[in-house]
Structure 1
Amino acid sequence: MSLHPRRRSVLRSHGVTVVWLTAVWVLLWGDLTWGNLVNGVLLAVLVATGLRMTPVDFHGRVHPGALAVLLGRFVVDLVRASFEVSMVALRPRHTPRGAVVCVQLRSHSDLYLTLTAELVSLVPGSLIVEAHRLTGRLYVHVLDVETSGGIEAARQHVLDQEARLLRALASDAELEDAGLRRRPERGRPGGRLEVTR
């Protein structure tokens, strides 16, 4: 006896989502029990089939070396920014000068826009205020412009993060469309490559 064609297509199209959501559910509870597992699967199936999710186009592939650079730099940024934010908070008479910085991203992909926004927001001292999907712009609130090295340095930090992300996940065509190369040129930081449009 085989599954109904519609059920088979639901399992095929949402299988990874169900597994991922179940894993997140179990991790959030912090205990692997049959009850947590069954509830996680039921909830994941309900979410995957009941909520309409926008399909995400991914034409790239994971590049392990560039992914290691992306993750390593993210950890360094996380530690450095945590220290800087704590120093801003502990300075007795210092009033931080915040700013909202508009950053025009190179990529036109919703996936890369979202991932860049998440990586930037996870670093203390910066928060995405708004993301324009159609224009590819991120509006980033910077806690203290002085600590960040100025507005241009804050903008460049976001562009560097996007460049590392694209090198880790994008296809060669997507990199070329963004005006980047697989490896950064010597002497230039990750996002300061010239745009070839």
Structure 2
Amino acid sequence: MSNTPYPDRPHPKPVGKRPIPAFFGNLWRQSVVAFAWPLTSAIVWVASRVSMPKWMGSDLREFAVRLWSLAWLAFVWVLLWGDVTWGNVVIGIVFGVAVLAILPLPRVPVEGRLHPLAALNLLISMLWNFLISAAQVAWAAVRPGEPPLGCVVRVHLAIKSDLVLTLAVDYLNLVPGTMVVEIDHVHRILYVHVFDVRTQKQVDHFRKQMAYVERQFIRAFERDSEWHPSPYHGIDDDYHHVPFADRQRVADGERAPRRRRRRRKERRRS
């Protein structure tokens, strides 16, 4: 006679990873921590002891933006000449420095922090949407029947930074079939022209795609835990006109896929 109270029932499967995957998983975590901690300490040490000159922006993030502007101007100069040579590169850098010094561009507030992996995921999703949208536009142009019907969809975003909002608008304009026709800067509302939309289901699908893009931009550039308002805007967060409820909506949308994956795992285990 078995000692178990219910001998006919199968024994539950042990919860957890197998020894070999668990070993490599712990090794990966320890390696990341061992690398990230000295790197973070070095960055904090440099930021606390090294001060940037005023002409370089007086801030590491501002200096990075100016360095990117200089690189972009030099790149445009080389494109205009159409020949990649050391002379064109050097002259492009000289002209870029002259433009930034004599004709300075408006200051761009840098208020978040870049996450490379999230930004890479955003870039991959943009390329994928580009391919899918290009195929849909091409098919709509050659298919028989009535001409495509477009519409303007109003989209409310919870993006705080003006720079990140501009990147989101560029994202939409680069994808075939979508074009931002108007921006309500105060209320963070975009009016987007969508190509070939005939049903409410297609409109809802586009809104879901916009919610996904919104979450990806916030993850890549302006997470709430790392938000630093720019001194050019002041420290009043209400300047950006993004209520807390909108950011909470984005956070709930971020947690929803994780909850669904957790439920699927629980059902498989049961």
Q: Same fold (TM over 0.5)?
A: yes
2:161 corresponds to 1:118: no
Q: CA offset at residue 35 of structure 1?
A: 3.9
Query: How many Å separate the matches in 2 of 1:148 and 1:62?
Result: 36
String of CA shifts for 1:88-143, please: whole Å, max 9, x gaps.
11113231111111111112321121111111111000011112222211111111
Residue number in structure 2 paired with 1:85: 137
Residue number in structure 2 paired with 1:186: 257
Greater shift in the superposed pair: 78-87 or 127-136? 127-136
Structure 1 unaligned blocks of 5 or more? 1-7, 190-197
- Asked which structure has the greater RCO (Cα within 8 Å, sep 6+), the reply is 1
Query: How many Å separate the matches in 2 of 1:64 and 1:31?
Result: 31
- For the Cα contact (< 8 Å) 2:119–2:220, is it kept in 1? yes
Greater shift in the superposed pair: 50-59 or 130-139? 50-59
Q: CA offset at residue 52 of structure 1?
A: 4.3
Q: Which structure: greater helix fraction? A: 2
Q: 1:29 to 1:92 in 2, by over 3 A?
A: farther
Q: 1:56 to 1:46 in 2, by over 3 A?
A: same
Query: How many Å separate the matches in 2 of 1:72 and 1:91?
Result: 29
How many aligned positions are there? 182
Residue number in structure 2 paired with 1:105: 157
The percent identity for this pair of structures is 35
Q: 1:137 to 1:52 in 2, by over 3 A?
A: farther
2:205 corresponds to 1:153: yes
2:135 corresponds to 1:64: no
Residue number in structure 1 paired with 2:99: 47
Q: CA offset at residue 187 of structure 1?
A: 6.4
SS at structure 1 position matched to 2:186: coil
Of 125, 139, 147, 1:73 maps to 125
Greater shift in the superposed pair: 45-54 or 91-100? 45-54
Query: How many Å separate the matches in 1 of 2:134 and 2:200?
Result: 12
2:245 corresponds to 1:171: no
Residue number in structure 2 paired with 1:137: 189
Greater shift in the superposed pair: 69-78 or 55-64? 55-64
Length-normalised TM-score, structure 1 = 0.76
- For the Cα contact (< 8 Å) 2:111–2:161, is it kept in 1? no
RMSD, aligned CA: 3.0
Query: How many Å separate the matches in 1 of 2:174 and 2:80?
Result: 19
Structure 2 unaligned blocks of 5 or more? 1-52, 58-62, 228-241, 261-270
Q: 1:136 to 1:148 in 2, by over 3 A?
A: same
SS at structure 2 position matched to 1:36: helix
Greater shift in the superposed pair: 57-66 or 170-179? 170-179
- For the Cα contact (< 8 Å) 2:150–2:197, is it kept in 1? yes
Length-normalised TM-score, structure 2 = 0.58
